[in-house]
Structure 1
């Protein structure tokens, strides 16, 4: 049985609107920057959401408030590199005491306003994911499928539930997007986050990202040598509740 076809899932780079939700400034770029750039270049409406201010994302003698301001500037530069013109910041404190429900309450109105064909975020179920902002953000995005399909969110007809959810940094990917032609935009966007990647580790991480991208292209796209892809776990809202086969589908 072709579960993907049965559930109406289509290729991620064949959508007209997409919402990318990241825990911190830079997560979208690392996990899905090539896909964001590709969609934007195709005329898709791409909107980015950042949940936290990233104020604690550093080690050393820097003040959190100063880092938060710097990361806002870096985020603006990264969005420009990807061709993203719409960005929303929720402003929760990095590693703060906000809850999953707090994120849901901010995200639901955004979803109802934009009504994207796909919502993309970090996979909160990846084994060993220890960062609470990643877990809260990813789970909040997934929980919106349940909220929007319930009477807890008043809607006028036609009611809206995102038809597709895609998770990057997933241990269980089932699809990929060829981003070869947009890889340089992804790298420029990541490098715009100099507070995070202006380190001696960046060349190693850059090489690792490229290794992952080549492996994803080979696994999912049967692509010739030299192609680069970003992988995702693509699910329908029905697979986010009472669907134990979701992990392997």
Structure 2
């Protein structure tokens, strides 16, 4: 049985609107920057949401408030590099005491306003994911599918539930986007986050990202031994986010 066709899932780079929700400034770029740039170039409406201010994303002598301001500036530069004109910041404190429900309450009105075809975020169920901001953000995005499909959210007709959810940094990817032509933009967007990546470790990390992307292209696209790059996702229907134990393997 073709579960994907049955649930109405289509290619991630064939949508007309997409909302990318990241825990911190830079997560979208690392996990899905090439896809964001590709969609924007095709005329798709792409909106980026950043949940936290990233104020504690550094080691050393830097004031958290100063880092938060710097990361906001870097976020704008990264969006520009990707061709993204719309970005929303929720402003929760990095590693703060906010809850999943707090994120849901902020996110639901955004979803009802934009009504994207797909919502993209980090996979909170990836094994060994220890960062609470990643776990809370990913799970909150998934919970929105449940909330919007219930009477807890007041809606006018026609009612809306995002038809597709895509999780990057997933250990269980089932979809990929060829981002070969947009890889340089992805790298420029990542490098715009200088507070995070202008480090001695960046060349090694960049090489690892390229290796991952080449392996993904070989796995998902036939005849991709020509050096193509791909970003991978766990693509799910909202129906697969509740009482659907085969979701991990589908």
User: TM-score, with normalisation over the residues of structure 2?
Assistant: 0.99
Listed as ranges, the gaps of 5+ residues in structure 2 are: none
Aligned to 1:215: 215
Aligned to 1:229: 230
TM superposition shift of 1:225:
2.1
* C-alpha separation in 2, matches of 1:61 and 1:145: 41
Question: What does 1:123-202 correspond to in 2, within 5 Å?
Answer: 123-202=123-202
* RMSD, aligned CA: 0.4
Aligned to 1:245: 246
Aligned to 2:41: 41
* C-alpha separation in 2, matches of 1:221 and 1:191: 28
TM superposition shift of 1:221:
1.5
TM superposition shift of 1:177:
0.0
2:166 partner SS:
strand
* C-alpha separation in 2, matches of 1:147 and 1:218: 38
* C-alpha separation in 2, matches of 1:44 and 1:234: 18
* C-alpha separation in 2, matches of 1:109 and 1:46: 17
TM superposition shift of 1:185:
0.2
* C-alpha separation in 2, matches of 1:84 and 1:193: 15
Question: What does 1:61-80 correspond to in 2, within 5 Å?
Answer: 61-80=61-80
User: TM-score, with normalisation over the residues of structure 1?
Assistant: 1.00
Listed as ranges, the gaps of 5+ residues in structure 1 are: none
Aligned to 1:98: 98
TM superposition shift of 1:224:
3.5
